[in-house]
Amino acid sequence: MLTPVRKHWRQILIILAIYTTWSVAVFLFLIGLQGPETTIRQFGGSQAVYFNFGHSIIKGTIVYYILIYHLALPVVQTRKWKKALVQCLLFLVLLTVYEYFWNFKTGNPNIGEGAHISVRTFLITAVILDVIMVMMSVYFATLITSNEMHRRKEELEKQKLQAELSAIRYQINPHFLFNSLSFIYTKALKTSPEAAHAVHLLSEIMSYALDDWGELGTVPLTLEVDHMKKVIEMNQIRFNHMLHIRYQEHVEEGDVHVPTLALVTLVENAFKHGDLNDEQHQVCIELNVTKSRICFRVSNKKKKGPKEPSKGIGLSNVQQRLQLMYGAKQSFVIKEDENFYSNEIIINL
């Protein structure tokens, strides 16, 4: 996976290659249409043609990079137009001011005959070109988004197939398992209600984990939260309700979906590696949901002594699924030092 810096440079180089090819093709077309002398004169004469041509390519690359990746692409992905429209207008105004100074104040005119073009004609031409550039940027942003969605869908289908194959290879027969748990629950109900309740919780937890949640593997937030609370309750029963856990929940919008077991994995990671017996440093589980964002954070003090073996597969899987499903609209942040550990999921809706 490319780092953000390498990704940005890759995007710039792609635009540079495409824009250079296009500029050279247009330059050669103009030479064939009106002759080399007229074309060279339009680019400032024989002494300035290379400088002005290079300036045009660098400027065009920067302009299209900003328009496509920083203005059009976020709009296409999030459908939030107001802020982007203001930013786009400001950017185009700055671009027009730059073009004006370049063509009329630097002594290097390169539009038409340069000295013979009026300011009014320049402004009309600039507006027309700006509209064309914006339309092209939106088109390319739509194309990029469509390709990314198609790629993510293929990756999700591949991951789902791998998960299904792993389940077939390793799982115990679910019917046998649930029938056994039901038998144990019935036997334990009269003699130990708490043990029976623990068996019932375990049955529901495993049923949730083994169920098929569709192509994308997402569930309603309320269902994931309910399952997470069962996992917390199950662990409290295991340790005689001695675990120090602080759970905070603020949900303004509940009609949203999240990847299955994404929140649960963070909680289980805290149970596995955290110190749950320190009353002053409780395991903190925080869920905040608004109409525009889901924020889920788990923090804990690290457990002292020998650590349980872990390959980090669960967290890595959550991170990959979030990236595939939400792309730039999500973030998965892990922070840790010698004594404390926290991770946070943010999904922009």
pTM of full prediction above 0.85:
no
Does one domain contain both 247 and 106?
no
Residue 57 lies in a domain: yes
Same domain, yes or no, for 8 and 150?
A: yes
| 27 CA to centre of own chain | 39
37 found inside a domain: yes
Confidence of residue 108 (pLDDT cuts 50, 70, 90): low
| Residue where one domain finishes, among candidates 127, 154, 181 | 154
- Residue 261 and residue 127 share a domain: no
What pLDDT was estimated at residue 287?
95
Render pLDDT for 165-224 as a digit per residue (tens, 0 to 9). 555 445 545 655 666 677 777 777 778 888 888 888 888 888 787 776 666 678 899 999
Task: Please identify which residue in the block is written with the tokens 């890595």.
Answer: 316
Q: What average pLDDT does the segment 95-111 reach?
A: 71
- For residue 86, pLDDT over 50 is answered with yes
pLDDT band at 112 (very low <50, low <70, confident <90, very high): very low
Average pLDDT (263-283) is 89
pLDDT at 113: 43
Among 104, 124, 154, the domain-final residue is 154
Res 2: pLDDT: 60
Q: Do 244 and 277 touch, CB atoms closer than 8 A?
A: yes
Residue 125: predicted pLDDT? 85
Regarding whether 268 and 150 lie in a shared domain, the answer is no
CA-based radius of gyration for the chain = 30
Domain of 252: which CATH number? Answer: 3.30.565.10
> In the chain, how many domains are there?
2
Specify if 211 maps to a domain. no
Residue 196 lies in a domain: no
Q: Are residues 248 and 150 in the same domain?
A: no
User: What integer is the mean pLDDT of 54-64?
Assistant: 89
CA distance 319 to 344: 11
Considering the domain boundaries, does residue 176 fall inside one?
A: no
**Residue 167, in any domain of the structure:** no
Among 102, 119, 154, give the residue marking a domain's end: 154
User: Which residue range(s) make up the domain with 88?
Assistant: 4-154
Q: Does residue 213 lie within any of the structural domains?
A: no
Give yes or no: residues 150 and 286 share one domain.
no
- Using pLDDT thresholds of 50, 70 and 90, give the confidence band for residue 63: very high
Look at 84-88, 280-284, 309-313 and tell me which has the smallest mean pLDDT: 309-313
Same domain, 144 and 270: no
Q: What is the pLDDT of residues 292-330, one digit of tens each?
A: 899 999 999 998 866 655 545 578 888 888 888 888 889
- 30 and 136: one domain? yes
Would you say 130 and 96 are in contact if contact means Cβ atoms under 8 Å apart? yes
Q: Quick check: is 337 in a domain? A: yes
Distance CA(336)–CA(301), nearest Å, equals 10
**Of 73-87, 185-199, 243-257, 299-313, which range is least confident?**
299-313
